[in-house]
Structure 1
Amino acid sequence: MAFQTHVNRYQAPGIPGTFASNNPSYSAVGGENQYVACENGVLIGRFGWTDANGRIANAGGAAPLGFILHSDLKGIMYDIRDRASMAVPAGRPVTLMQMGDFWAVTGTAATVGQKVFAKLADGTLVTGNAGATVDGAIETKFHVATAGAAGETIKITTGGL
């Protein structure tokens, strides 16, 4: 087991890919074993698309199917020396959320009310104004609920502010 090398001054506000409230939410509805991670696996707390084989990937070319939820302990650590994992291995079930309030890491500075954009290459989040063109990203149904600097954990929502 790794020796502690860092102490945070403040507790983390939330874990990316988890619910940020008890407000109504819903996931993408699929058939039996339809939503499973692609051959490269996927990362929790990012957006997901269906690939050519109908499996979930962290990259796509159009609007994402949903936000990948950290549920049922799907992130797996392969080595006891690993510190943590947000990876869902190939073939494991993936829950894609289409509505609700979630914790996520922003790739850009975020202010309340901005729209959330999904980067097409890796499913990470960036923010911008509604209707804006963000290079390499597509606008989602989500918007920023709490402000934060690039790299910080924020709340995103499809509900009202």
Structure 2
Amino acid sequence: MALQKSVNLYQAAAVQGDRASQNPFVYTPQNYTAGADITVGSFVWESAEATDPKQVLNTGTGAPLGFVERILAVYNYDLTSEGTLIIPKGQNVTAVALRGDFYIPANTTVTVGMAVFANTTTGAATFAEAGSSQSGAVETSWRAMTAGNEGDMIIISNEAPVVASSGGSSPDLSSYAKADLSNVTGQLPIANGGTGVTAVGTAGQVLTVNSGADGTEWTTPTGA
């Protein structure tokens, strides 16, 4: 590739299109080829052209097919060229995600819960309030899971539950993944997800349901 022109003090948090978690991801059941140059970390639509395999494009109408994950699957044979996030026309697009957590750059100041919109001309992902009308873009099921300023890498997801806020259509995720465990001491009952026991058994014992089928106890397994 071309000679390096700058040096950063710190490693980038992520690159556009990178996975942002180890949560389950869902992809299209078939692979596609690029009907035109495809930008990684953007949205794509299935081409109406009858081809085998089918093609995807960064342009379309209505809800996009999915999001293109960055998986470093395309070779760059021009050793003097700059690195790009482009999958050339005709190359395989092997990771079109239907669900998952990814990084994308913020096009504006982003707050948690903002909706992700797909530009119908470029496939670019942008942020705006859920339910708002954005010229040349359609709202997707993805939402901002982190906040940041323009240019920051933002985690987006369509896996987390979204709860409507009392003030309007913007989702309120302020209580997401929070739990008050300050009063959890001693024995944790079965009804609350515990085992109902307060001590560890002896070596070789296993935790089983008692004879009354109303609790658990440590028992020593017997031979078959």
TM-score (ref. length: structure 2): 0.65
The total of aligned residue pairs comes to 156
1:46 to 42, 46, 59: 42
Question: How far has the Cα of 1:9 moved from its partner?
Answer: 3.0
CA distance in structure 2 between the partners assigned to 1:11 and 1:111 by the alignment: 24
Q: For each residue in 1:127-160, what CA deviation from the matched residue of structure 2 results, as whole angstroms up to 9, or x when unmatched?
A: 1111111111100010011222223321111122
CA distance in structure 2 between the partners assigned to 1:58 and 1:45 by the alignment: 11
Please give the root-mean-square deviation of Cα atoms over the aligned residues, in Å. 1.6
More off after superposition, 138-147 vs 83-92: 83-92
CA distance in structure 2 between the partners assigned to 1:77 and 1:107 by the alignment: 28
1:37 to 20, 34, 38: 34
Question: How far has the Cα of 1:3 moved from its partner?
Answer: 2.6
Which stretches of structure 1, 4 residues or more, deviate above 6 A after TM superposition? none
Q: Which has the higher contact order (CA 8 A, sep 6+)?
A: 1
1:28 maps to: 28
Q: Equivalent residue of 1:36, what SS?
A: strand
Question: How far has the Cα of 1:2 moved from its partner?
Answer: 2.7
Superposed, 1:1-161 pairs within 5 Å as: 1-30=1-30, 35-38=32-35, 40-53=36-49, 54-71=54-71, 73-94=72-93, 95-160=95-160
Task: Note closer, same or farther for the CA distance 1:91–1:2 as it changes in structure 2 (3 Å cut).
Answer: closer
Aligned residue type for 1:51: S
Paired residues of 2:116 and 2:140 also in contact (CA < 8 A): yes
CA distance in structure 2 between the partners assigned to 1:117 and 1:79 by the alignment: 33
CA distance in structure 1 between the partners assigned to 2:138 and 2:156 by the alignment: 16
What are structure 2's unaligned runs of at least 5 residues?
Answer: 161-175, 177-224
Aligned residue type for 1:44: V
What are structure 1's unaligned runs of at least 5 residues?
Answer: none
Aligned residue type for 1:42: I
Q: For each residue in 1:56-90, what CA deviation from the matched residue of structure 2 results, as whole angstroms up to 9, or x when unmatched?
A: 1111111100000122x234424212231211122
Question: How far has the Cα of 1:27 moved from its partner?
Answer: 0.6
